[in-house]
Amino acid sequence: MARILRVEFEGAMYHVTVRGVDRRALFRTDRDRERLLAKLGEGVERFDLDLFLYCWMSNHLHLLVGTPRGNLGRFMGWWLTSYAVYFNLKYNRSGHLTQGRYGAKLVEGDEYLLKLSRYIHLNPVETVALKKATVEERVAALRQYRWSSFPGYVSAPQAKSFLRYEPLLELVRQGRRNRRLAYRSYVERGLGLAAEEWRELQDASRIAIGSDSFIEQMEEVYEDRMKKRPAREDVAFRRLGKKMDPDRVMKVVATVFQVPIEALQRCRHGTWDREVAARCLVQNCGLTQREAAARLGLSSGAAVCIQLRKLSVELQSSRTLRKTLQRIEAELVQGDSNLTFKG
């Protein structure tokens, strides 16, 4: 099945899901969970996001996030890369941490946001381990679960400064009743119901979650953007499923940066060609970081991790570097017939 084009625009709201590669754990300790949460808070500020919900499970996670600047892709790239670099360095591993691309469905407001929030917050007690537990036992487990935004919704002292609680709390306002108590009651009443309720909404469309009219509108936007997408971008979009020849990747990177291939194996200040080559060897060729290190004259896979981390940071601020990387990715797919190799 073809990969879905990301529909990004200012003011969009998404249900984001991330899964561990081969269903493996994304965390090994609470320190790992705290690290991901700290980077999430940093990302909310850096990318000017509206974060409403989060929930960490052992091998997957959920977010409900709004993007006033239409920049979900930039945020997710920075957030997941920064955590993967930390995780790989800490546990002396290499390769991908997450399973393919993250999921991101557009979400309609009000009723659908409430249903989504209930589904996300009940994830920790919809597990096989708690399947036979009583309702009282599951409620107790839910209230004790630390790694979601639920504690901040039901108790003001546990609220995180980088989350926006007010919009959802306003939706459960019932006269003068305490909104946090009302929200807790709303979520807990969904035990045993939320998963099935949400599954029906999820199955309605691969693009969006909401009313029939909202889904139709978002799918029209999607089709319109697919038609207007330049052919060059479309080819580059599909390239991630293929493994490419490392020699050809090295040649294209060297040509675009106008340096000899040998230069990619030396440390030189003021250029990003070596770091870009490392990224392409890992992402486009499927090499491990250790294998990429051998190609680039680096001492270890950890050294490649450091190069990729530096590149990820620089890509956020350098438009020139982003355009250079886009050109390289397009050339890798379309061929290098228009390039003149130097050296």
Smallest CA-to-CA distance from 233 within 2, 1, 5 is with: 5
Smallest CA-to-CA distance from 72 within 55, 51, 100 is with: 51
Task: Tell me where in the chain the CATH 1.10.1750.10 domain(s) lie.
Answer: 241-334
Are residues 276 and 325 in contact, defined by beta-carbon separation less than 8 angstroms?
Answer: yes
How many degrees, rounded to 5, is the angle at CA 257 between CA 252 and CA 262? 75
Q: Topology of 241-334 in CATH? A: Chromosomal Replication Initiator Protein Dnaa; Chain: A; (1.10.1750)
What is the enclosing helix (H) or strand (E) of 252? Answer: helix 246-257
Task: Tell me where in the chain the CATH 3.30.70.1290 domain(s) lie.
Answer: 12-228
β-sheet bridge partners, residue 18: 61
Task: Describe the strand order of the beta sheet including 208-209 as a list of residue ranges.
Answer: 50-56, 60-67, 12-19, 103-107, 208-209
Digits of tens for pLDDT over the chain (343 positions)? 345 667 788 888 999 999 998 889 999 999 999 999 999 999 999 999 999 999 999 999 999 999 998 899 999 999 999 999 999 999 998 888 998 889 998 988 777 888 889 999 999 998 888 878 898 999 999 999 999 999 999 999 999 999 999 989 988 876 557 899 999 999 998 887 766 666 666 666 777 888 778 888 888 787 777 666 543 333 222 233 456 888 989 999 999 998 898 888 887 777 888 889 988 888 778 777 788 888 888 887 777 777 777 787 787 778 888 888 878 877 776 653 343 333 3
Single-letter amino acid code for the residue at 71? N
Query: 12-228: which CATH architecture?
Result: 2-Layer Sandwich (3.30)
> 3-state secondary structure string, 269-311?
CCCCHHHHHHHHHHHCCCCCHHHHHHHHCCCCHHHHHHHHHHH
